[in-house]
Amino acid sequence: MPPVDTIHITLRDAPPRAVWALEQAGVHPLLARLFAGRGVRAMEELDDGLARLLPPADLLGAQAAARFLADAIAAGKRLCVVADYDCDGATACAVALRGLRLLGATPETLDYVVPDRAVHGYGLTPAIVDLAMTKRPDVIVTVDNGIASLEGVAHARALGLAVLVTDHHLPALVGDVVVLPDANVIVNPNQPACGFASKNLAGVGVMFYVLLALRAELRARGAYANVPQPRLDTLLDLVALGTVADVVKLDPNNRRLVAQGLKRIRAGQMQPGVAALFAVAGRDARRASGFDFGFALGPRINAAGRLSDMTLGIECLLTDDVAQAGELAKLLDTINRERRDVEAGMREQAEAQLEVLLLRDDGVMQTSPPALAIFDADFHEGVVGIVASRLKDRVHRPTFVFARGKDGALKGSGRSIPGFHLRDALDLLSKRYPGVLVRFGGHAMAAGCTIAESHFADFDAGFQQIAREWLDAATLSRTLLTDGPLATEYFNAETVRSLDAQVWGQAFEAPVFSDEVQVISQRLVGEKHLKLAVKFAGAVRDAIWFGHSEPVAERVLLSYRLSVDEYNGRERVQMVVEAAR
């Protein structure tokens, strides 16, 4: 594999005045430093109470959606939720169906469909509308999709269906003009004229806000004059899972949603399917963290949409039968193991292609091109996004990976780096190379597209050219922000538990510390992980660098996370290395 481009280890700026203010408000000194380095300036930003959530009335379309759904429920209309085939879409579907039942819709009026990525494509396509018609709906409710589904919404309306779009992706562009689908109601913080302060809601978060607005509408209509109003916070375990798994920015509002979900899970209050997923992943729900969502539960649900049928994931989240939830979770775990095998093979093939790309005629490795586009006839369409993400992390370049779909067209999934808006790049490419992109969509850091196989070279050339124009040497250099040295008194299991209890994620990254150390010993374990014993601050510490096999210098600046390794009932704090200089 080609060498990784240089990593610049940079200290986060934690303004002393902000640190002091947080400490004075009662925040632990270490946490005060970490929070200040992530932009927190006042104690109120750390208040994760539900009362601090942004009001649903601020979300454009939420109140109209509430009236629309209240009328539909009152009239006994049949609603069909059109989901998406990732974890955000699956949790959003489960939240929609569970929430609508809580708010008065009868089970016989509720149903759902979810696309097969290889058959129906992404979003509310005419094909998925036709599939939904087999459920005999009066209303279609999209979750985590629909904002760019101009043809699908038009098809549904032509068939006499009403359509409510709930989504968080960017709307379609025709030329340079934003065009919205002709839905009855649209709820999306990223639609024009929406002043909602959090543009980072995941699809599941948008649907949760619609339910909050619906409950308020029903309350105003007197539905709860003589009965307690339903508790929508029972859905927050699903909201938290989908939010973290979709890697949206954890702004203060999203952090509150995730924190509330984690509190419920740690207290044992969760859907049976969520509990079953914790069990098959070997995770302790009493110590649930965002890491569990992103690296244990989320991938198991996503695997169903990648290699099988996302109905399995949705049913796992919908069932109230503990035994059935356990069986479905086991099946999802098996599919995820298969996904790992498929991914490993594809990564090996992709890295071999990359090595050829970077090898000059004289046999010397050269610097990575500004962007990558990889295709192999043996690639699996369901795993291209994961492989693109792994390659992007490896070489720090915007990356697209393509596989041949069942219809013969190439289906690509891309991942980007800071400073390169992937969806905007596709839009520009579509203008420069008319006809190359059959369809595309997404957002800044992740996007997808479909092209003809004969146009792959044009896509590759156009993608690289845009990257050359938009990216400079600074942007193409990987930077690792660290929180600086960790004081000796904090190097213990109590600190690890305190850190794990916080909400970390996209744009509010988990702490990474950095210290100059002396390497006492180093050896390979499992053939690809570097195990080290290092000395600093007068003590010898254990460290491991996963996926790294090259030895490091005797004295080195080590950037690391803290973890607790439990073995035979004993706890041992170790450093999980992120980078070395």
pLDDT tens, 32-77? 999 999 999 999 999 999 999 999 999 999 999 999 999 999 999 9
**2: pLDDT strictly greater than 50:** no
The pLDDT mean for the chain works out to: 94
| CATH number 3.40.350.10 is the correct assignment for the domain at 479-580 | no
**365: pLDDT strictly greater than 90:** no
Spatial separation of the C-alpha atoms in residues 557 and 517, rounded to whole Å: 6
**Percentage of the chain modeled with pLDDT above 70:** 97
**543: pLDDT strictly greater than 90:** yes
Q: Write out pLDDT tens, residues 370-405.
A: 999 999 999 999 999 999 999 998 889 999 999 999
Residue 412 bridge partners (DSSP): 402, 449
Band (510; pLDDT cuts 50, 70, 90): very high
> Picking from 107-116, 466-475, 499-508, 563-572, which range would have the lowest pLDDT averaged per residue?
563-572
pLDDT at 367: 66
pLDDT at 567: 74
What pTM did the predictor assign? 0.93
Band (455; pLDDT cuts 50, 70, 90): very high
Angle at the Cα of 185 (from 208 to 314), degrees rounded to 5? 40
**189: pLDDT strictly greater than 70:** yes
Range list of H helices, 182-235: 203-220
Average pLDDT over residues 402-410: 93
Residue 535 bridge partners (DSSP): 518, 540
What is the DSSP pairing of strand 410-415 with strand 139-143? unpaired
Contact assessment for residue 218 and residue 104, using Cβ atoms and an 8 Å cutoff: yes
**213: pLDDT strictly greater than 50:** yes
**146: pLDDT strictly greater than 70:** yes
pLDDT at 120: 83
**355: pLDDT strictly greater than 80:** yes
Q: Write out pLDDT tens, residues 287-343.
A: 999 999 999 999 999 999 999 999 999 999 999 999 999 999 999 999 999 999 999
pLDDT at 260: 98
pLDDT at 441: 85
Which three-class secondary structure string do you get for 268-291?
Answer: CCCCHHHHHHHHHCCCCHHHCCHH
Number of Cβ atoms within 10 Å of the Cβ of 58: 15
Task: 466-470: list long-range contacts, CB under 8 Å, 24+ apart.
Answer: 466/371, 466/425, 466/428, 466/429, 467/369, 467/370, 467/371, 467/397, 467/398, 467/420, 467/425, 468/370, 470/419, 470/420, 470/425
Helices 87-102 and 203-220 cross at an angle (nearest 10°) of: 10
User: 257: buried, middle or exposed (CB in 10 Å: 19+, 13-18, 0-12)?
Assistant: buried
| CATH number 3.40.190.10 is the correct assignment for the domain at 367-476 | no
**Could you tell me the fold of the domain covering 50-232?**
inorganic pyrophosphatase (n-terminal core) (3.90.1640)
Band (448; pLDDT cuts 50, 70, 90): very high
The answer to whether the 50-232 and 479-580 domains have the same CATH topology is: no
Write the CA distances from 40 to 18, 251, 502, integer angstroms: 8, 10, 14
pLDDT at 571: 86
pLDDT at 363: 53
Residue reference for tokens 């124009």: 469
Contact assessment for residue 306 and residue 383, using Cβ atoms and an 8 Å cutoff: yes
Band (24; pLDDT cuts 50, 70, 90): very high
pLDDT at 118: 77
Q: Report the residue count for the chain.
A: 581
> Picking from 66-75, 361-370, 508-517, 546-555, which range would have the lowest pLDDT averaged per residue?
361-370
**1: pLDDT strictly greater than 70:** no
pLDDT at 187: 98
pLDDT at 7: 82
Q: Which residues contact 47 (CB under 8 A, 6 or more apart)?
A: 256
Band (145; pLDDT cuts 50, 70, 90): very high
pLDDT at 362: 52
Tokens of 200: 């980072």
Average pLDDT over residues 469-480: 90
Band (273; pLDDT cuts 50, 70, 90): very high
* Phi/psi of residue 421, nearest 5 degrees: -80, 105
Q: What are the extents of the domains in the chain? A: 50-232, 367-476, 479-580
Spatial separation of the C-alpha atoms in residues 312 and 463, rounded to whole Å: 36
Residue reference for tokens 């909201």: 239
Helix (H) or strand (E) segment spanning residue 260: helix 252-266
Q: Calculate the CA 153 to chain-centre distance.
A: 26
**572: pLDDT strictly greater than 50:** yes
Residue reference for tokens 């955000």: 88
Spatial separation of the C-alpha atoms in residues 58 and 54, rounded to whole Å: 7
pLDDT at 4: 44
DSSP string, 475-515: HHSEEEEE-----GGG-SHHHHHHHHTS--BTTBPPP-EEE
pLDDT at 565: 83
